[in-house]
Amino acid sequence: MNGPSEVRSLIASYWEDPAAASLAGYLARGGYEAARQALTAMKPEDVIEEVKRANLRGRGGAGFPAGLKWSFVPRTSPKPKYLVVNADESEPGTFKDKYIMLRSPHLLIEGAIIAAYAIDARVAYIYVRGEYDVCRLRLEEALREAYEAGFLGRGIFGTAYDLDIYVHKGAGAYIAGEETGLLESLEGKRAYPRIKPPFPATVGLFRCPTVINNVETLAYVPFIIRHGGAWFASLGTERNGGFKLYCVSGHVRRPGVYELPMGTSLRTIIEDHAGGVWQDRRLKAVIPGGSSAPVLRADEIDVPADFDALAKAGSMLGSAGIVVMDEMTCMVRALEVIADFYADESCGQCTPCREGAPWLLEMVQDILHGRADPSYPDLMLQVAQNILGRTICALGDAAALPVLSFVRKFRSEFDYHIEYKRCDVEERYGGVSNPD
């Protein structure tokens, strides 16, 4: 292991220095040395092995091992290969990729160069969320700088390797962040997710082998090449290497993005880093991984925030959008906000999602407005169960999982609304916290 023994942050260390957003500032911190090392001194398969050793799990939501994904690209295929950077960042509660693009765009570009080299892609696209215009402009400027310096284009670092990176403005829909919906959108079509298999590694963009990676996933790659995969792996937990950007929002004193070792406990993130629950109130619930992750009760947050531990705890790390809810939160209203989002964002291809998501919303609204009967909570569970696992993409699951967890864990609030046509929380506290 040749990395520093004590590190407080990796990506976020660049954010402390505003100059690091420019090429000059990035170079002053050793920028593009990892890409130079990979392209001039390592074979593509060595790069993949190093990333495998790092236990770098995809930061876009599913946590798939990055090195393994890269290794699925058929090296002997005569077709062009593509790297696609998923910068669509639309999962409610998630706002980390924005920071990378704005404050350390060259980290992403350098990571993309290394990844593209590893899979033998000569063209890469960065698909940026439609609403993130400032990020897009910042990336375009950083790409211009990288081309001028010879880090992109023909014969990079004097090698025979060529790479072009293009920025593509997203279509303004959550579903365009689903990797195959994204590919459709990039091809100029409506972002309808594709049935898998085949997976993009073999049949991806323009039906060619393609790797899709999240912004944060790629931004960690230069550190792995610079200091070694084993070093990166040692920073996190078993099978969950490195550091992680946690986005904390909701009812905390200091919302923000915190970079911490993978597996830091949820309680530590919320209490020590985000300052704990605001206004001296008590904690009620936490969504640990963006709005699609099952909610945890206050007594369930002593859990390492990594992919495996949170799955074991019945939720998921997802995109690490940690949404904190205080004791004055009405869980029925909070679920309405989430259900509304998924009903709105369903692309409509699969019946369970297209019909089920709005039905779930309708039921939760009926409960809120005193129009429901006592059968509703069980009916909601049944509808959600029937969406789960029966759709083309994971948006169906994302619509179902919050319902299952909110209703099961906070059932009494749903029942109270139905029986008394009033909010139990509002009665007890004289008001409710804003669920947005």
Ligand X SMILES: Cc1cc2nc3c(=O)[nH]c(=O)nc-3n(C[C@H](O)[C@H](O)[C@H](O)COP(=O)(O)O)c2cc1C
Q: Which of 327, 237, 223 shows the shortest CA–CA distance to 280?
A: 327
Least Cβ distance, residue 48 to ligand SF4 (angstroms):
30
Cβ-closest residue to ligand X? 58
Question: Restricting to residues 85-104, which ones interact with ligand X according to CB under 6 A?
Answer: 86, 88-91
Question: Restricting to residues 171-210, which ones interact with ligand SF4 according to CB under 6 A?
Answer: 175, 193
Q: Quick one: which segment of 148-156, 219-227, 277-285, 387-395 binds ligand X (CB under 6 A)?
A: 387-395
- The Cα-based distances of 33 to 39, 163, 217 in angstroms read 10, 17, 18
> Is residue 350 close enough to count as binding ligand SF4 by CB under 6 A?
yes
Query: Can you tell me the distance from the alpha carbon of 197 to that of 217, in angstroms, rounded to the nearest whole number?
Result: 23
Nearer residue to ligand X within complex by CB, 29 or 53: 53
Helix ranges (H only) for 3-128 are 11-15, 23-28, 33-41, 44-53, 66-71, 96-103, 105-119
Q: Which of 398, 361, 401, 381 shows the shortest CA–CA distance to 193?
A: 398
Question: Restricting to residues 228-257, which ones interact with ligand X according to CB under 6 A?
Answer: none
> Is residue 201 close enough to count as binding ligand X by CB under 6 A?
no
Q: Which does 354 bind (CB under 5 to 8 A by kind): ligand X, ligand SF4, none?
A: ligand SF4
Q: Which does 213 bind (CB under 5 to 8 A by kind): ligand X, ligand SF4, none?
A: ligand X
Least Cβ distance, residue 2 to ligand SF4 (angstroms):
44
Q: Which of 312, 302, 403 shows the shortest CA–CA distance to 362?
A: 403
Least Cβ distance, residue 79 to ligand X (angstroms):
21
Q: Which does 291 bind (CB under 5 to 8 A by kind): ligand X, ligand SF4, none?
A: none
| DSSP three-state, residue 201 | coil
Least Cβ distance, residue 212 to ligand SF4 (angstroms):
16
179 class by beta-carbon count within 10 Å (0-12 exposed, 13-18 middle, 19+ buried):
buried
Residue 146 C-alpha from the chain's centroid: 26
Nearer residue to ligand X within complex by CB, 218 or 296: 218
Tell me the per-residue interface mask from 379 to 408 with ligand SF4, x by CB under 6 A, - otherwise.
------------xxx-xx------------
* Contact of 366 with 347, CB cutoff 8 Å: no
Query: Can you tell me the distance from the alpha carbon of 322 to that of 98, in angstroms, rounded to the nearest whole number?
Result: 16
Q: Quick one: which segment of 47-55, 68-76, 241-249, 344-352 binds ligand SF4 (CB under 6 A)?
A: 344-352
Please state the length of the chain: 436
Residues near ligand X (CB under 6 A): 58-62, 64, 86, 88-91, 174-175, 177-179, 212-214, 217, 393-395
